[in-house]
Structure 1
Amino acid sequence: MPVAPVCLQKDFLNQVPDDRLNIDDVFKRQVTTEQYLSNVYSQIISEVDWNTGVPWEGLSDELDVTYNNYATYAMNLGNWDRNRGDYNFWTHYYKAIRSATYFLERVDENKELTPETLQNFKGEARFLRAYFYFMLMRQYGPVVLMPEKTIAPDATIEEMSIPRSSFDECVNYVVSEMDKSMEDLPEWQSNTRDYSRIKKAMVMAYKARVLLYAASPLYNGNTDYPDFKNKDGKVLINATYDPQKWKRAADAAKAVIDLPYFELYKEITNGKIDPMKSYKNLFLMDWNKEIIMAKVTDMFSFDKNGSPYKVGGWSSWGPTQQIIDDYFMANGRSITDPLSGYVENGYSTTADAYTTANTYNMYVGREPRFYVSITYNGSKWINNVAGTNNQPITVEMFNGGNSGKYSGANWSRTGYGMRKFVHPSSDLVQNRLAGRMEVHMRLGEIYLDYVEALNEYDYGNADVLKYLNLIRERAGITLYGDPSLPAPASQEAMREAIRRERRIELAFENHRYFDTRRWKIAEQTDGGAFYGMNIEARNNAEFFKRTLFETRIFHKKYYLWNIVQGELNRNKNLVENPGW
């Protein structure tokens, strides 16, 4: 029986194998075009590795990274000059910006994409480019805004030597690009498989963060940088204060709050908010309604560095005594408030909802977020451990204790551990970790962005107290304005209350480093004596003493990161940040 002839499509034999694609081929097919865009997405840096990945927590007053072989240790002691390249992301983000720009240049060539897909891809790439610029701005201040078309590889040094734009120009460009990207994006997710792709709501949230930074004292009316200029004399940070910047930030945050997709994550027990479960599981329940943007990430660092040595962790991220002292009491008052009920010394005689009898009084009666976030000597671990009769261990942080100083390296120099984000289902002995998301943006931050900006622009607006109290309500502490706790009575007092709430609610979420700088308080918070407990002690009696573990150095030039000499050599119009 004769075989029917095979009908070949036109150019069937004139195709390029997948392993021999050139850049022109990439933009002819949907699958390879999407792979290119995925590579642009991959340039979003994960911020969960505080040892070698990012320095934000290790350089803040929240945390000590125990190991002295990591750069943050030396940098905190003042060993930081203009040639230090650790955590210098200038090149990384400019490569990412170029990739996003090139994608925008070429994606229209793809005839396989539906109009809707093409539009979405453009919106995603445009936002990613704006996001990369903002990541540079939060670290370096004013940056170089590149041309809308990629510079040719054979460009001369003169063509590539583009000066920095002013910070205000950078903000206006990034915000305008975000606005443009929103026109091409659906407002929110249509299905769970789509959660990691950029949507309009995510862009709105990042716009609010950009505008909050722009309104803050470092960039709004800062008179410390009169000589921070390009070589042609252009001033890079405007010294004139503009209250409208706060209004723009407040309006942008409120626009996110008004979206119908998000709400504070809460778990209800017996008809009431369970503050401890709510705050803990916020970070463990993937894509709950508080999450605006997240990244699928290996959370190995959080589980290993945040867990005690006894359960297979490294006990190596030590919260400072400064942040221990800043957590509220359960009645919502500061430990320095005479009405707080705080007791520094001695031990409890009875158990309560979060502590056992014989707990050191410093840790008794604190707010639920404290117990979610902090491992202290004498605290119970978050799960049961094999070999302990199926009971949680009591963590011992003293010298020779089950998770304290010993002949190895895995112990906390502060006598505390950071347990926030650690998953109770992770088996650290076997290195089997529970998968979960890395949260980049959540509604709780937006509430705090909103009240901070609104308090500066429109002090006395009822929304300030409303949204600040919504954070406190979920946290399980007394609300401001309650008969037992008066609301802050002035704009300055409210500002401090908002900053304190932000410090606790967003603790260890990579905000504090940037907050102290944009508020221009880092000279007070990030330098000087840093304390923990007495980790050299071999018993509890001597352990519970405030003990200096480090004297940190903070120079004014540290408000903006150094640009390494190699970058200055490549761009003859690029000026270094002040003081370097």
Structure 2
Amino acid sequence: MKRNLKYLAFVTMVMVMSFLSACKKDFLGQIPDDALAIEDVFQKDDLTRAFLANVYSNIRSETDHSGENVPWEGLSDEMDVTYVNYPMFTMNTNWTKATTNYNYWDFYYKAIRNASYFIQNAVPENNKITDPALLTKWRAESRMLRAYFYFMLLRQYGPVVIMPEAPLAPDATIEEVSLSRSSYDECVNYIASEIDKAYPDLQEPKQDIPTGDYNRMNKGIALGVKSRLLLYAASPLFNGNKDYADFKNIDGKNLINQTYDQNKWKKAADAAKVVINLNVYSLYKEPLANTGGVYSPAISLKNVFLSNWNSESIFVKASDVAPYDQNGAPRPAGGWSSWGPTQSAVDSYFMANGLPPVTGYNTDGSPIINPASGYTEIGFTSTATPNYAAGASMMYVNREPRFYVAISFNQSKWINAAGGTQANPLVLNMFYGGTSGGYTGANWSKTGYSTRKLASPSTSLLSPVTISPRFEIKMRLAEIYLNYVEALNEYDPSNPDILTYLNMIRERAGIPQYGSGAGQILPPTDMRAAIRQERRVELAFENFRFFDTRRWKIAEQVENGPFYGMNATNGTTTADFQKRTVFETRVFTKKHYLWNILQSELNRDKNLVGNPWW
């Protein structure tokens, strides 16, 4: 008996219709409205371009953490998405096998199939294109896209099924389409080899890319994806994880290698260093006017996401960025204040002197305060600054620039004149009943904080609404630096590059560097913890934390149990509000490290095994 599988079979009519709906007018051209036979597509230059545009359209936007869009932030210990009717609220407290939300297995296998079909058919003998070299480049881009789609599956589900190079026929038998998962290491090696194969024919990375080529695969993106891939592969979840000793295919094949391999960290470090050595990218620093090149850390840290094609950008996408503005802005400024950073995320930011304010937590959830940092939770400041009004809690005084760029807190000042004036910006009252706090409606943060990182001061959410256009940054140099130092520290902890590149992140952030000279502080004894904290702060709210806590195997500790914020629900004055309070108790067990593969997918493939404990 023959059977078509939804994520394997190529159906001509579906593909032709998808071309019509997915082509981007600013990228690779358009497809005519008349019906087409699929074999005709690769006979024509413009249709070949359009097919590749369709493959590119499968790069998912990850700007909206609400609803059914993407779950990574709302399911991490970094953020609470305030609306209880969204799936992630239930998933944080009762994620079961019956949960079907945010499953991208089917989506990415369709994308992989389309990329494979392009590679197989976009060849000179099928195409009348006058420039064969361009066709070669397009096929390399499609190969790189396919590798990227496989990586997106790998980071969510662990080991996946590696499909044959040529797409399976629509009339393939159930035996032909029932394929087993490859081991995690086999998946990594395959993806890395595909990146290497595509690399020579990709365009060079540069900073003056035309608008129409904004997300076109190039050599810098390829190397950056490889850096991320190998870092994840070296991490504890997949590198000798004994918890997965029984994670096997039906034939008994182990899917996670049970032997720790330190050399994987070296491969990850080497991959990151290759990106660095391109000497194409640099940390974005925006000089102040009439200062001879002096830059502002705060302005630079804000505008790295707002200045298109700046020196730090490696991989960007034209996406709907309105969610950054809408969910971060307070109600008087026209926003929803609906993405609430957790107290642990707030605590992770350093003080202005470069020291961590909180070094851990007691069993009752109270913080273990670092006395050397100068941090205190007692009292309120009588001094106003550009970041906050007089009356702000001492918790928020003398924090590092990244804190004020990323976090809205009670008595903080909004980033533009909305709800106030340029001279007297809106002051956020986030206690219950305050202008930016709880009320009988839904648009308020249950943690007492909201995100302002990624929001643009040029956006207006009050009539007339105008969203400041900019790209979604999917990869930037700061991540590569942090990839490099993390991997280097695991296999060569005395290497001086660790402090060099970690300090480059801290220097741009405007806080003291690690060292023994003037203006520096002594390096921490636990460098792994220091690197992880720097990563948490620098890459906050950029969809990294969900995957980091999992690959480090710490999610059972940091994403399980009571979650704290301020007393946003019951605190009706600043004094009552400014207390650490549990807003939610979450549940995380071992099965949650890897996403559940839907039973419908398991039913389609008799050799496909599910993830452990589901």
Check whether TM > 0.5. Answer: yes
Q: Distance in 2 between matches of 1:17 and 1:62?
A: 46
Secondary structure in 2 aligned to 1:381? Answer: coil
Which is worse superposed, 300-309 or 446-455?
A: 300-309
| Structure 1 match to 2:351 | 329
Q: How far is 1:403 from its partner?
A: 1.3
SS at match of 1:383: coil
- 2: CA distance, partners of 1:495 / 1:239: 23
Task: Give the secondary-structure state (helix, strand or coil) at the position aligned to 2:151.
Answer: helix
Report if aligned partners of 1:311, 1:428 keep a CA contact under 8 Å in 2. yes
8 Å contact kept, 1:63–1:317 = yes
Query: Which residue in the other structure is 1:291 paired with?
Result: 313
**Equivalent residues in 2 for 1:203-214, closer than 5 Å:** 203-214=222-233
Q: CA deviation at 1:187?
A: 1.9
Compared with structure 1, are the counterparts of its residues 389 and 135 closer, same or farther at alpha carbon in structure 2 (3 Å cutoff)?
A: closer
Query: For residue 509 of structure 2, what is the aligned residue in structure 1?
Result: 475
Task: Give the counterpart of 1:54 among 62, 70, 83.
Answer: 70
For residues 357-411 of structure 1, give each alpha carbon's deviation from its aligned partner in whole angstroms, at most 9, with x where no partner exists.
3221000000000000000010000000266586310011111111111111100
Q: Secondary structure at the match of 1:384?
A: coil
Residue 120 (structure 2) pairs with residue 102 (structure 1): no
CA deviations over 1:162-185 (Å, ceiling 9, x no partner): 000000000000000000010211
- Give the match for residue 393 of structure 2: 360
Whole-Å separation in 2 of the counterparts to 1:550 and 1:83:
22
Aligned to 2:99: 84
Gaps of at least 5 residues in structure 1 are 1-15
Moved more, 130-139 or 16-25: 16-25
Cα distance in 1 between the residues matched to 2:461 and 2:385: 29
Matched AA of 1:139: Q
For 2:509, the aligned partner's letter is A
Query: 2: distance between equivalents of 1:283 and 1:166?
Result: 37
Given that 2:389 and 2:427 are in contact with CA atoms closer than 8 Å, whether structure 1 keeps it comes out as no
2-structure distance, mates of 1:482, 1:209: 32
Counterpart amino acid of residue 505 in structure 1: E
1:178 to 192, 195, 198: 195
Q: Does 1:320 align with 2:342?
A: yes
Q: Which residue of 1 aligns with 2:172?
A: 155
Partners of 2:348 and 2:279 lie apart in 1 by 33
| TM-score for both structures, normalised by structure 2 | 0.90
Partners of 2:458 and 2:468 within 8 A in 1? yes
CA distance in 1, matches of 2:352, 2:34: 61
Give the equivalent residue in structure 2 for 1:544: 578
- Secondary structure at the aligned position of 1:292 is classed as strand
Q: Hey, what does 2:135 align to over in structure 1?
A: 118
Match in the other structure for 1:501 = 534
Deviates more, 1:448-457 or 1:103-112: 103-112
Are 2:419 and 2:426, in contact at CA under 8 Å, matched by a contact in 1? no
Alpha-carbon spacing, 1:17–1:85, altered in 2? closer, same or farther (3 Å): closer
Partner of 2:26: none
Deviates more, 1:174-183 or 1:24-33: 24-33
Q: 1:25 to 1:440 in 2, by over 3 A?
A: same
**What is the RMSD of the two structures over their aligned residues, measured on CA atoms?**
1.5
The question of whether the paired residues in 2 share the 8 Å contact of 1:40 and 1:125 is answered with: yes
Output the CA distance in 2 between the equivalents of 1:519 and 1:217.
5
Compared CA separation, residues 387 and 175, structure 1 to 2 (3 A):
closer
The one of 398, 409, 426 aligned to 2:442? 409
Q: CA deviation at 1:459?
A: 0.8
Corresponding residue number in structure 1 for 2:57: 42
Listed one character per residue, the Cα deviations across residues 198-236 of structure 1 (whole Å, up to 9, x for unaligned) are 101110011010000000011111111111000000000
1:330-409 aligned within 5 A = 330-335=352-357, 336-352=369-385, 354-385=387-418, 388=421, 391-409=424-442
Counterpart residue number, 1:67: 83
Gaps of 5+ in 2: 1-30, 358-368
Describe the shift of the 1:113–1:174 C-alpha distance in structure 2 as closer, same or farther (beyond 3 A).
farther
Separation in 1, partners of 2:462, 2:203: 44
Read off the aligned partner of 2:404 and give its amino acid letter. Y
8 Å contact kept, 1:404–1:412: yes
2:3 matched residue in structure 1: none
Query: What amino acid sits opposite 2:189 in the alignment?
Result: N
Moved more, 269-278 or 157-166: 269-278
Aligned to 1:555: 589
Most deviating of 467-476 and 345-354: 345-354
The alignment-based identity, stated in percent, is: 58
Query: SS at the partner of 1:566?
Result: helix
SS in 1 for 2:74: coil
Aligned residues: 562
Partner of 1:13: none
- Provide Cα deviations, 1:464-516, integer angstroms capped at 9, x if missing partner: 000000000000011011456544354xx011000000000000000000000
Deviation digits for residues 132-172 of structure 1, max 9, x if unmatched?
00000000000000000101111111111000000000000
Equivalent residue number for residue 474 of structure 2 = 440
Shift of 1:196: 2.2
**Residue in 2 that maps onto 1:11:** none
2:574 is the counterpart of 1:530:
no
Deviation at 1:80, TM superposition (A): 1.6
1:276-329 CA distance string (max 9 Å, x none): 001000000001010000000111111111111111101100000011111100
Residues 180 and 533 of structure 1, relative CA distance in 2, 3 Å threshold: same
In 2, are the aligned partners of 1:531 and 1:547 still within 8 Å (CA)? Answer: yes
* Whole-angstrom CA distance in 2 between matches of 1:276 and 1:386: 22
Q: Which amino acid aligns with 1:102?
A: Y
Worse-superposed segment, 420-429 or 61-70: 420-429
Residues of 1 paired with 2:217 and 2:195: CA distance? 11
Conserved? CA contact 2:77–2:342, under 8 Å:
yes
1:228 corresponds in structure 2 to 247
Shift of 1:69: 0.6
2:275 aligned residue: 256
Distance change >3 Å, CA 82–CA 207, structure 1 → 2: same
Which amino acid is the alignment partner of residue 193 of structure 2?
A: S
Q: CA deviation at 1:100?
A: 0.2
What secondary structure sits across from 2:107 in the alignment? Answer: helix
- Determine if contact 1:530/1:552 at 8 Å carries over to the other structure: yes
1:420 lines up with 2:453 in the alignment = yes
Shift of 1:350: 2.3
Equivalent residue for 1:449?
483
SS in 2 for 1:294: strand
Task: Report the equivalent of 1:6.
Answer: none
TM-score, normalization by structure 1: 0.95
The one-letter amino acid of 1:208's match is S
Structure 1 distance, partners of 2:501, 2:520, is 16
Displacement of 1:352 after TM fit? 4.4
CA distance in 2, matches of 1:341, 1:153: 67
Whole-angstrom distance in 2 between the partners of 1:133 and 1:188: 22
CA contact (8 A) 2:419 2:425 kept: no
The residue identity in structure 2 corresponding to 1:432 is T
Deviations 1:15-39 (A, max 9, x none): x965222212211111111111011
Q: Which range moves more in the overlay, 445-454 or 81-90? A: 81-90
Name 1:192's counterpart in structure 2.
210
Q: Which moved more, 1:388-397 or 1:518-527?
A: 388-397
